[in-house]
Structure 1
């Protein structure tokens, strides 16, 4: 099930989607499509809602496209999202058809990146606050590492400072058991994996 809407806002695209796909890696799949279409996520909000006993993912994003590619990008995005959430679709097959070039990850973390993990006892969730240089592919990269560690993104707020170009993103997460993990070795492992490209510079 997918409800997808988009509209143009000046030189950007505002999209919203609602789906009953709430398994690990749902946001990474969305971020992969966005990145593959050469779009950049400027801001956004991710939510997990329960309606009539059913769980839904409800997301909205403000996207930036290359100059002159706005209309085509919006159309392709709708087609790809429909394919992504089709019950007959396999993400691996969709991925194999996309020509994805890995982002220059090291450029995201050159200027004093911040990774702060905090356990929220009232929610039984861990907040990951990420502040670093923004750029196309950042969320594709970070969400992939979270997925590989079986981290569930319950909700998130994505922001990019228009003056400094800094990403200021907050992810509200649970581990595979559905609990917090800021004080466990898992948090440090995720941090190390995200920053690994910096070790080669």
Structure 2
């Protein structure tokens, strides 16, 4: 993967983490055990430090950056959805940041909270633990149910399993010219949608 030092500071990737070959890491980036970093993610530790703690995932096209001397931290089991932007913020353990959400400088997302897809969390906002923040700008909408928190944790476990699958079997190959007669499918994963979870399905 493209991995660059700056000012002689080199990114760190734990051997049990998976960073996709198209992701870009620059400078003061620390990827912890069991983490997943998806295709085309950009983690720029050229000003402040970026830390992904154990079991966190940062999905496709996410951008993580920060101001000088500020850390951007995703704690254990943090789950950062496709296209999200984190800038100089703190994401506490077991948090879900939804797809295309933006979390700005010195914002803090409390443990087991969810930031809805496309939400904009302004600088300095504190989202309480176990709550849902949504909107532009984001507002705290309500407390999350136990079922919603369990759903989030199950989704994170799926990404932790994906890390192991990638380490074991992901490789670059040329495409086939035609579909095989008995084409296999990728490993089946049982995951309920959030809608099913809310309905008790």
Same-fold call, TM > 0.5?
no
Q: Could you tell me the TM-score, scaled by structure 2's length?
A: 0.26
Q: Which structure has the bigger radius of gyration?
A: 2
